[in-house]
Structure 1
Amino acid sequence: MRAYLLLMLVAAAVTYLSTPAARWIARRTNAITAVRARDVHATPRPRLGGLAMLLGIVVSVLLASQMPFLSGVFETPQAWGIVGGATIVCLLGWADDVWDLDWVTKLAGQVLAAGFMALMQVQLTWLPTPGGLTIGDSNQSLIATVFVVVVAMNAVNFVDGLDGLAAGVIAIGGSAFLLYTYSLTQQASPQDYSSLATLMMAVLVGVCIGFLPHNFFPSHIFMGDSGSMVLGLVFAGAAITVTGNIDPAATRDALSGAQRVPLFIPLLLPVAVVLLPLLDMGMAVVRRLAAGKSPFHPDRMHLHHRMLALGHSHRRAVLILYVWAAVFSFGAAALVRWEWRVVLVGLGIAIVVALVLTLGPLRTRGRFLDDDVATGAQPAVDAPAPAVPASGHTSTHEGRTR
């Protein structure tokens, strides 16, 4: 574990130190988030945080490739496939942040990046279903891989709606996935704890931690599409490599019933991490279609908008959404260690606590979490609190593909 923690620290340090340079590049290339009527931020912000994240990933993986402990991980090109795919979508996101690409071009770029990963052996070969569904056909495997990666990239992009939200949610979900993959490796190979999935999750958590000081409210830079797509692709790539390291036939013969539950985590955990944005995206599509509008038509009824409308400050809304991400992520990961009935009880209790935090008196209490405390602004006197604060941001993707 010490090697993974070292790589996490390196990724965090490189990302943190290089983010000011990314902000400078964003200003030089005019990659600036404009203020739109539906947005929550009040002033234009640079949005190329993904460049710093990519640099953190590249440096950390290069360092890992020189570690004897992780030499076995680099016997296949999978690690470089994930790094290469991340580079492609980062450049795509940069172009989108500068020139505002149409959705067809962006989708084509995302498919290209996912296809490159598949070419480098990062492919879904089976799905952890009760019968252990094997994807025997190479074309079906390619299609399944591309679909999963593209959905993951857009799901992370969708959650990028408030300062620090996407980076924090992925850091939390990535931590849960890291513990899962490390535990799985311990059980599968007690003599060798090296794992590509654990490596990529450690690096992913590190870049999120390194970026958060610059991105938490009040933010100085947004990650932009160049960042959200990188996070989604790396997360999906790590999840896919986990399924590739499990023999479905041997597993089906060796385990039965509840013993198979941990094997569903490679699919369950990524869904748990992005459950809230996926639900938000689904409700947005239904809401817009019901109103006779395009499913990509922007509005101010997303989950983060509703949190602000409930009376939460920007910072408080983000922290509460962190709680929800932790509830679902660690609840799914707990299935590796505990019996599912015990996990279900604990999950129920955690959900009740999260509901109290979301709907309870915290909405108007906790002065240290108020936005004016963070910005140093004077709070309004004898005036109702606005439904939407004057700072923060909504996803740079909103209105272009949603």
Structure 2
Amino acid sequence: MRAYLLVAIITAVVSYLATWAVRYLAKRYDITPAIRARDVHKTPTPRIGGVAIFFAIVVGIIAAGSFGWFESVFRDPGPIWAIVGAGGLIVVVGLLDDLIELDWTAKMGGQIAAAWILASSGVQIVSLPIGGLTVGSFGVSLAITVFVVVLVMNAVNFIDGLDGLAAGVVGIGTLAFFIYSYVLAQQTSPTDYFSIAGMLSAVVLGAIAGFLPHNFSPAKIFMGDSGAMLLGLMMATSAIAVTGSIDPATVTRNDLLPALIPLVLPVVILLVPLLDLLLAVVRRVRRGQSPFAADREHLHHQLQDLGHSHRGAVLVFYHWTTVVSLCLLLFFWIDAAPVIIIFGVWMIIALIHTYWPVFRRVTRARSSLGK
């Protein structure tokens, strides 16, 4: 654990300083786009924070590789550098979109190319922990992997609409995923707790921890499409890497749920963003627009319409992400019945938190009528 903590701290320090440097350069050279109609912020703010996040992630990976602890992870460095290459490509695509607004087909092409780099390097969904089930041929595995990576990238990108929202949601989910991958490594390899999924999670956590102080409301810099898609890429990659560390043939009926966590966790964490993505695509296609056309009807906008402040809407997302992440992790240690009870009670609390402005308005209205 100390090795992972050290890597996370190094990455966090680099991320904080790199974000400060990118902020300075953006102001110095006026790399600050105009405010759009759909934007919530009122002051022109740089949208190139993804460059700092990527730089910190690369430094974190290099730092991990210099430590003997991660020797088993870097024994085959091909997949790791493929991850760096895919991350670099998606940052370039996102940066171009942030600065000149790429056509959606070009943006999608870049996403598919980055996902293909990952999948072709061996970071693939090859098998599922369901009675030894395999996905199929190399082509089928590659196609499924590309689809999953592109889907997660877009889900994270779609919720990047409020200060600190995407960074915090991915950070909470990545922390849960790191805990899971660390415990799994302890159980499957008692003499070596180090894994590519654990290392990536620690690096991403550090990058987010260093970036968030600059990005939380009121944000001084945004991660932009470059940062949001990069974080989505890393989250999907960690999940896919964990599925490769589980031998599906050894998974019994009782072990099925814990074994499925690496596949289920990213989906559950991003359930609300994925729902937002689906609703946005349907909404825009019905209007005859591109699925990537921007609007101001995302769920975080609707939370503000309910009466939540900027920070309040972000905290609602944090709350729901914490609920689903921790409750899903609990299945790894305790029986289903207590977890379902905990989830049910916590979900009621989260619902009250979500609709609190509505309850407050109704209470005030009744009080006014009573007078």
- What TM-score, normalized by structure 1, do the two folds share? 0.85
| Equivalent position amino acid for 2:177 in 1 | F
Distance 1:363 1:46, change over 3 A: farther
Q: CA separation in 1, counterparts of 2:68 and 2:359?
A: 51
Whether 1:83 and 2:84 are equivalent positions in the alignment is: yes
Match of 2:36 in 1: 36
The answer to whether the Cα contact below 8 Å between 2:82 and 2:118 also exists between their aligned partners in 1 is yes
- CA shift, 1:134, in A, is 0.4
The size of the alignment, in residue pairs, is 360
| Equivalent position amino acid for 2:193 in 1 | Y
Q: CA separation in 1, counterparts of 2:349 and 2:278?
A: 25
Secondary structure of the equivalent of 2:313? helix
Match of 1:68 in 2: 68
- CA shift, 1:245, in A, is 1.1
- CA shift, 1:332, in A, is 1.6
- CA shift, 1:182, in A, is 0.5
| Equivalent position amino acid for 1:212 in 2 | L
Whether 1:244 and 2:237 are equivalent positions in the alignment is: no
Which has the larger displacement, 265-274 or 297-306? 297-306
- CA shift, 1:132, in A, is 4.2
Whether 1:193 and 2:193 are equivalent positions in the alignment is: yes
- CA shift, 1:294, in A, is 5.2
The answer to whether the Cα contact below 8 Å between 2:131 and 2:249 also exists between their aligned partners in 1 is no
- CA shift, 1:107, in A, is 1.3
Which has the larger displacement, 226-235 or 89-98? 89-98
- CA shift, 1:109, in A, is 1.2
Q: CA separation in 2, counterparts of 1:340 and 1:200?
A: 29
Match of 1:307 in 2: 303
Distance 1:29 1:273, change over 3 A: farther
Secondary structure of the equivalent of 1:336? coil
Whether 1:23 and 2:19 are equivalent positions in the alignment is: no
Q: Could you list the runs of 4 or more consecutive aligned residues of structure 1 that deviate by over 6 angstroms after TM superposition?
A: 362-365
Deviations 1:170-220 (A, max 9, x none): 110000000000111111111111111011001111111111110001001
Map of 1:350-365 to 2, 5 A cutoff? Answer: 350-360=346-356
Map of 1:3-402 to 2, 5 A cutoff? Answer: 3-27=3-27, 31-76=31-76, 77-128=78-129, 130-251=130-251, 255-256=252-253, 258-289=254-285, 295-360=291-356
Deviations 1:12-64 (A, max 9, x none): 11000111221234446664342222221112211111111111111111111
Q: CA separation in 2, counterparts of 1:121 and 1:151?
A: 19
The answer to whether the Cα contact below 8 Å between 1:23 and 1:47 also exists between their aligned partners in 2 is no
Q: CA separation in 2, counterparts of 1:103 and 1:292?
A: 14
Q: Percent identity?
A: 49
Q: CA separation in 2, counterparts of 1:143 and 1:30?
A: 41
| Equivalent position amino acid for 1:313 in 2 | S
Q: CA separation in 2, counterparts of 1:279 and 1:150?
A: 15
- CA shift, 1:300, in A, is 2.3
Distance 1:118 1:361, change over 3 A: closer
- CA shift, 1:120, in A, is 2.2
- CA shift, 1:272, in A, is 1.3
Which has the larger displacement, 86-95 or 217-226? 86-95
Q: CA separation in 2, counterparts of 1:291 and 1:140?
A: 33
The answer to whether the Cα contact below 8 Å between 2:39 and 2:161 also exists between their aligned partners in 1 is no
Distance 1:297 1:85, change over 3 A: closer
Distance 1:179 1:46, change over 3 A: same
Match of 1:389 in 2: none
Q: CA separation in 1, counterparts of 2:357 and 2:231?
A: 34
The answer to whether the Cα contact below 8 Å between 2:258 and 2:332 also exists between their aligned partners in 1 is yes
Structure 2 residue ranges without an equivalent (≥5): 362-371
| Equivalent position amino acid for 1:3 in 2 | A
Q: CA separation in 2, counterparts of 1:104 and 1:306?
A: 28
Structure 1 residue ranges without an equivalent (≥5): 366-402
Distance 1:97 1:27, change over 3 A: farther
The answer to whether the Cα contact below 8 Å between 1:30 and 1:98 also exists between their aligned partners in 2 is no
The answer to whether the Cα contact below 8 Å between 2:152 and 2:236 also exists between their aligned partners in 1 is yes
Q: CA separation in 1, counterparts of 2:295 and 2:41?
A: 15
Q: CA RMSD in A?
A: 1.9
The answer to whether the Cα contact below 8 Å between 2:54 and 2:88 also exists between their aligned partners in 1 is yes
Q: CA separation in 1, counterparts of 2:133 and 2:159?
A: 30
The answer to whether the Cα contact below 8 Å between 1:31 and 1:97 also exists between their aligned partners in 2 is no
Distance 1:297 1:116, change over 3 A: closer
Q: CA separation in 2, counterparts of 1:294 and 1:196?
A: 37
Deviations 1:299-357 (A, max 9, x none): 32211111111111101111121011111112222221122222211111111111111
Distance 1:294 1:99, change over 3 A: closer
Distance 1:297 1:117, change over 3 A: closer
The answer to whether the Cα contact below 8 Å between 1:312 and 1:364 also exists between their aligned partners in 2 is no
Distance 1:3 1:168, change over 3 A: same
Match of 2:367 in 1: none
Distance 1:24 1:169, change over 3 A: same
